[in-house]
Structure formats: structure tokens, C-alpha cells
Amino acid sequence: MAHARISANLPPNIDPTKAPIAFGRRALPKLNEELQSPELLTQQRALMALCDLVHDPQNVYEALELGVLDNLKTLLVHQDNTVRQKTTEILHIMTMHNVGRHGLIQNGVISALAELFDDPVDICRKNAHLIFEYMSKLTEGAVGILHAGLIPLLVSKLKNELEEIQELILGTLSNCLRVEASEALAADVITVLKEKLTHTSVATRSKAAWVLLEISTHPEGKNEVCEEVIPMLVSLLEDADPEIQASATGALMFATIKPQGRFSALGAGAIPPLLKLAAEEGGKARLSAIKALTMLAELPKGRETLLNHLDTFRQCLKDPSKAVRRAAKTAISVIQWKP
């Protein structure tokens, strides 16, 4: 099904004429001054010119040195929609460069950007979340978002935001929850993710499964996943999208580390789809599937079932991946173990 996309086109009444930038980064000091101009058109033109310049990481470095970020932070709350749109676009482009990501994180842009989560203009909110997703890819960015106390707000925005923006929020959450999951769990993220796991959008289902995978790596997260979502994860093992299969298998692998998770997965019928994934040569979920099956082989009923499928694991011994071969060898040993 086709979905409307958020447009980045400027309003038709906005003059797109750009400020002269023939001298490259030598124009940056002048543009920085124009950002502080009381004239709206001057600000707009300066932002458009700056938007072109920051595609060059050297210009991003120069802009940071000049203190351009202080002016941009001020413009984030400007009354003019176009000024906010171009400001967020500039910051987004800056975060595509490593020097820009570090610069934004170190200059306290995270809290300022969070003010745009309720912006009435879709593209401003989208740009803000694009920036968050890029910043969260750095550990210091993820930590910054966590320290700003924004995880509960991000979880709440998952409920009603536009689908396109929800995907960005899920990306940010997966990066942040790799570091810490307690705030998200307290905000009832599991309930929200359960809904997203059945979404019609492949991207949304995939990213929701990935967030669950990150949650499952934490002890408290394993408990929540075991109690609430293992049957849904098992159903996703047969999803048509390989990325969703891989994420669901990974989350299941971590959840089955706990005895409760093993019983739940076994009861949900996880063995047949996991065996199918383990048999797929070159499959993204193969390694996680073998490890999850090894966990299920710790249960007498699981071991009894898997004894009839040792050939699947023997085929895995021929996999070019050393990790897969080692996991298959361990699985065979566990399945054949006798009290």
C-alpha cells in the first residue's frame, strides 16, 4: 500500500534565491552574522546558503568553530516555519558527518531539538528525529539522549506519530536501548512494540523487532520479553522479510537464555521455524537460530524433538562461517547429551 511521504518542499511564496557562496567557507562568517539579522528574508537566504555549505565536512568544522550552532539553536524555536525547517535540515546534514555529530552532542543540541517533537510542521518533526537517530548511533549520543530523560517521550510519540517518523523513533530507541533499557521498560515500551510487531509496514515491524532484540540483551528486558512477547516473536520467524526474521530470532535467542523463556518458546512452537532458519545456507538468522535451538535442547522435550533433526546441524558444520560451525558443534553436543 502506498503511503504519503513528508515533503521537504518549501512553501511556494518563499524566495529560494540563495546568498552568494562563491568563496566557499570564507562566506561562513558573513552567513553566521546574517543568521542573527532581524530581517526574515535575510535569515532564510543565509540558511539556504548554509544548507549547501555544510555538505562539506570541512565547512561543518569551520561552522562549529565560528559558533554557528548557537545561532541555529536559537532559530529552532523561530516563529517562521521555513526558518525552523531549514535550520533542522542544516543540523541533519551536519549529523551525516562524524565531526557534526560530535559537535551537536557536545554543544547541547539534544534538549533544544526535543522542543520540536510537538512542532506543527511535519518536516520539522521528521528532521528532528532524523538528527536524533544519527546522533544515537554514537554511544555518547545515545547516552546524551538517555541523560536528557527523553526515552519516555520517544516511547509516547510512537503511539500517534506519522508512520515515517515512527520508523525513525524506533531506530533511535534501538540505539539507546543498547546502552540502557530500564527507562523504556518503565514507560511500557513492550506494550507499544507488541502493536508495532503486527504493523503492515515491513520497516516498522523490522525496527520494532530490532528494538526488542536490544531490550532482550538486558537482564530486566529478558524478563519482560519472556512474559509478554515470545509467541509474537515466534510468529515473526516466518515473516517474509529476512531482516525481521533475523531480529526476531536474535531476540528469541537472548530470551531463551532464561528457563522461563525456553518453556515459553517451546510452548509457542518455536522449534519448526527455527530449524527452517538454521537450514538456510547464508541466511541472516542462521547463527541465532542455532543458538536458540541449543537453548531449547536444554529442556528434555526440546532435546527429544531435536534428536530427530541432527542432520540439520551437521549441514551447518559445512558453513563458511566459523561462528556458525562452532555453534552447530555445540548444539549437536547438547542435543546428544545423556544424563
- What global pTM score does this model have? 0.84
Q: How confident is the model at residue 4 (pLDDT cuts 50, 70, 90)?
A: low
Evaluate whether 35 touches 151 at the Cβ level (below 8 Å): no
Query: Which pLDDT does position 38 carry in this prediction?
Result: 93
The residue-averaged pLDDT of 286-296 equals 96
200 membership: H or E segment, kind and range = none
**Residue 274 falls within a domain, yes or no?**
no
**Residue 178 falls within a domain, yes or no?**
no
- Domain of 40 in residue numbering reads as 19-148
pLDDT cut 70: percent of the chain above it:
93
Is residue 2 predicted with pLDDT exceeding 70?
no
Is residue 5 predicted with pLDDT exceeding 70?
no
Which pairs with CB-CB distance under 8 Å and at least 24 residues apart come from 307-311? 307/335, 307/336, 309/275, 310/335, 310/336
CATH code: domain of residue 62: 1.25.10.10
The residue-averaged pLDDT of 312-326 equals 95
Query: Which pLDDT does position 245 carry in this prediction?
Result: 93
**Residue 185 falls within a domain, yes or no?**
no
**Residue 288 falls within a domain, yes or no?**
no
For 302-335, b/e burial (b = at least 16 CB within 10 A) is bbebbeebeebbeebeebeeeebeebbeebbebb
Task: Quote the DSSP letter at residue 10.
Answer: P
Q: How confident is the model at residue 234 (pLDDT cuts 50, 70, 90)?
A: very high
pLDDT tens digits, residue range 257-282?
989 999 999 999 999 999 999 999 98
Residue 45 C-alpha cell reads as: 537566504
Q: How confident is the model at residue 18 (pLDDT cuts 50, 70, 90)?
A: very low
Query: Which pLDDT does position 19 carry in this prediction?
Result: 46
**Residue 175 falls within a domain, yes or no?**
no
Is residue 13 predicted with pLDDT exceeding 60?
no
How many domains are contained in the chain?
Answer: 1
Q: How confident is the model at residue 43 (pLDDT cuts 50, 70, 90)?
A: very high
**Residue 305 falls within a domain, yes or no?**
no
**Residue 64 falls within a domain, yes or no?**
yes
Q: What is the DSSP string of 45-65?
A: HHHHHHHHHTTSHHHHHHHHH
The residue-averaged pLDDT of 240-252 equals 91
**Residue 118 falls within a domain, yes or no?**
yes
Residue 54 C-alpha cell reads as: 555544510
The residue-averaged pLDDT of 130-145 equals 95
215 membership: H or E segment, kind and range = helix 202-216
Evaluate whether 71 touches 35 at the Cβ level (below 8 Å): yes
**Mean of per-residue pLDDT scores for the chain:** 90
